[in-house]
Structure 1
Amino acid sequence: MPLSSARLRRGIVAAVALGTLAAPLGAAPSLAATAVAQSPSPSPSGPAVHALTPEVTGRLDDAVQRVMREAGIPGVTVGVWTPDKGEYVRSFGVADKSDRREMSPDLYMRIGSETKTFTVTALLQLVDEGKVGLDDPIGKYMDGVPNGDKITLRQLADMRSGLFNYTEDPDFVKALTSDPTRSFTPQQLLDYSFKHPVQFRPGAKFSYCNTNLILLGLVVEQRGGQALGDYIQQHVLDPAGMTRTSFPQGAEFPKPHAQGYTNQTADGKVAETAGWNPSWGWAAGAMVSDLEDLRTWSRTVATGRFPDGEQMVSPATQRERLTTPPTGYPGTGYGLGIFDVHGWIGHNGSLPGYESLTVYLPAARTSLVVLLNTDITHDGQEPSTLVGQAVTEVISPDHVFELPAQHAGH
Structure 2
Amino acid sequence: MNTPPSPSGAQRTDGSTVRIGALVPLTRPGWVEAGRHLLAGLELAVRDANDNGGIVGRPLELIVRDTAADPQRAMAAVDELADLGVAALAGEYHSVVARSVAARADALRLPFLCSSAVLDALTEQPTQWVARLAPAQSRGWRIYADFLLNAGHSRIAVAIAPSVYWASGVRILRDCLAPSGGSVVELDISALTAAQVCEQVVAHDATALLLLVGYPEPAVSIVRSVRSDPRLMQLMLGAPAGQPEFAEWASLLGVAGAAIPFLRYLPERFSPLGERVETALRERLAEAPSFVAFEGYDTIAVLADVLRSHGTDWARIAEAWPQVDVEGTRGRIRFARAPGISVWQWAWAPIQVVDRDPAEPERFRIRHAG
TM-score by length of 2: 0.25
Higher relative contact order by CA 8 Å / sep ≥ 6: 1 or 2? 1
TM-score normalised by structure 1 residue count: 0.23
Bigger radius of gyration, 1 or 2?
2
